[in-house]
Amino acid sequence: MTESELYHSLLLLMFILCPIVAFLLFYIKAPYGRYVQRSWGAGISVRSGWIVMEIVALLSFDAAFLTGTPDLVAWIFFILWNIHYGYRGLIYPLRLPNQTKQIPVLIVASGTLFNMINGYLNGRFLSVFGAGYSLDWLTTIPFLLGIALFFTGFLTNVQSDTILLSLRRADKSAYQIPRGFLFNYVSCPNYLGEVVEWFGWAMATWSLPGLAFALFTAANLMPRAYSHHHWYQQTFQEYPKDRKAIVPFIF
Ligand code: NDP
């Protein structure tokens, strides 16, 4: 099999997986965080789990990118990816409080495999399989809008994480109703930010790996947001009635 065949097969696989993952996750809650269950097998510390899963996305993207021949514009995307995964793979896990709760090895293994493939596809598109970008791309609407969405999503995600982690640090096991910022509109603004961020990436890179990743993120996080929302409503009688799951005023 040539590398081109491998790349295109993995890309196709990503698109095929999106509806399957979305369907399954509406019925089976991914067993980590509030849904963790011993029946899903051995676990490791939550902090180590996040580091392992997410550093792989950084390493596989960087390796795929740096062993190709990226143009000047592609380096902008290199920086964006490294900002996101530097945060998710190092800063976010170090902000997590030490907990007795664990994350199943199965979740870490599947997250690691996904991140390895996804990092490879996005890095390789930018340095080998894409058509390349001229400097004119920097003044196009998809690029400018995509970058604006990327940073809006990223900052929304980080700010929402900050609110949730401050609740978690205040009490290492109990859950509270998050308030303030976009929590006034939706139960999961962290997931909303993540989805917006990767659609911004897809638009700015104008790439199929970017689109596949954005769709996969939505397929993964929209059902989880729906589950969290339902869980909050069941758990707290005083939960705000007008709050939606992930899309303000709509869903
Ligand atoms: P959660 O919202 O389930 O949990 C985030 C952290 O906040 C956990 O430490 C959790 O504790 C704590 N927490 C959440 N809600 C409360 C509450 N009401 N009271 C007190 N503490 C709370 O997010 P995830 O763990 O699923 O995801 C973490 C980050 O990773 C998010 O920013 C998400 O966007 C991103 N992510 C991205 C994915 C992608 O496909 N690109 C996939 C998955 C995650 P506890 O663990 O005890 O529940």
Q: Which residues pair with 45 in a beta bridge?
A: 102
Say how many Å lie between the CA of residue 67 and the centre of ligand 1: 33
Report whether residue 205 contacts ligand 1, using a CB cutoff of 6 Å.
no
Report whether residue 178 contacts ligand 1, using a CB cutoff of 6 Å.
yes
Over range 17-39, report the average pLDDT: 94
Atom 7 in ligand 1: residue holding the nearest Cα: 164
Over range 164-169, report the average pLDDT: 96
| Test site for ligand 1: of 29, 92, 161, most ligand atoms within 8 A of the Cβ | 161
Alpha helices (runs of H) in the chain, residue ranges in sequence order: 3-27, 46-66, 72-86, 92-95, 105-124, 141-170, 189-205, 208-235
**% residues pLDDT > 90 (the chain):** 96
Over range 155-182, report the average pLDDT: 96
Q: pLDDT tier at 100 (50, 70, 90 boundaries)?
A: confident
Report whether residue 199 contacts ligand 1, using a CB cutoff of 6 Å.
no
Lowest mean pLDDT among 20-29, 95-104, 170-179, 204-213: 95-104
Report whether residue 47 contacts ligand 1, using a CB cutoff of 6 Å.
no
pLDDT of residue 21: 97
For residues 22 and 140, what is the distance between their CA atoms, to the nearest angstrom? 32
Say how many Å lie between the CA of residue 33 and the centre of ligand 1: 7
CA distances to 160, 169, 185, 247, 249 from 244, in Å: 15, 25, 6, 7, 6
Over range 207-216, report the average pLDDT: 98
Report whether residue 96 contacts ligand 1, using a CB cutoff of 6 Å.
yes
| Test site for ligand 1: of 52, 175, 177, 192, most ligand atoms within 8 A of the Cβ | 175
Contact (CB, 8 A) for 198 and 215: no
pLDDT of residue 101: 87
Report whether residue 176 contacts ligand 1, using a CB cutoff of 6 Å.
yes
pLDDT of residue 212: 98
Give the pLDDT confidence of 29-44 residue by residue, as tens digits.
999 999 998 899 999 9
Lowest mean pLDDT among 90-99, 124-133, 214-223: 90-99
Over range 227-236, report the average pLDDT: 98
Minimum-distance ligand 1 atom for the alpha carbon of 97: 9
pLDDT of residue 46: 96
Quick one: angle between helices 105-124 and 3-27, nearest 10? Answer: 140
**pTM of the full predicted structure?**
0.97
Q: pLDDT tier at 175 (50, 70, 90 boundaries)?
A: very high
